[in-house]
Amino acid sequence: MKNVWRLIVPTLASLVLLFAAAVSAEPTMTTSTPHLSLGAQAAAQTQSVSGTIAAVGKDSFTLTVASFGQAPNAGKSMIFMVDPNTTVEGKLKVGSNADVTYREEKGQNIAVSVRVSP
């Protein structure tokens, strides 16, 4: 019987230590807000419109949105801000047609890219 106890006691002690180690090493769940890069945020929030350029300013232009399709802004004029990151294909000129990809930021439409066709 002594031999049985010599085997059981160390085995139980090892199991208790193993259980204690497993409980203390249990991963804790943390929550964090994922951080998107500015490029990813802009890409996720861009919209596109097409129309005719009605006015051109130093850092902005006005586009009269085409009235075809189901565009919610059809027939309206929209002002777009141009910043150093805006890519422009062609020349912003009154009367030219343009396809604009933009994002809304602080209540303003910021042009991401503009493709102008005569």
Q: Identify the structural domains of the chain with CATH numbers, from first to last.
A: 38-117 (2.40.50.320)
Distance CA 77, CA 71 (A): 13
Mean pLDDT value across residues 55-71? 82
Q: How many CB atoms lie within 10 A of CB 8?
A: 10
DSSP state of 18: H
> Tell me, what's the pLDDT at 79?
96
Q: What is this structure's pTM?
A: 0.58
Share of the chain above pLDDT 90, in %: 52
Share of the chain above pLDDT 70, in %: 58
Contact 92, 52 (CB under 8 A): no
Please determine, for residue 108, whether its predicted confidence score (pLDDT) is greater than 50: yes
> Tell me, what's the pLDDT at 61?
97
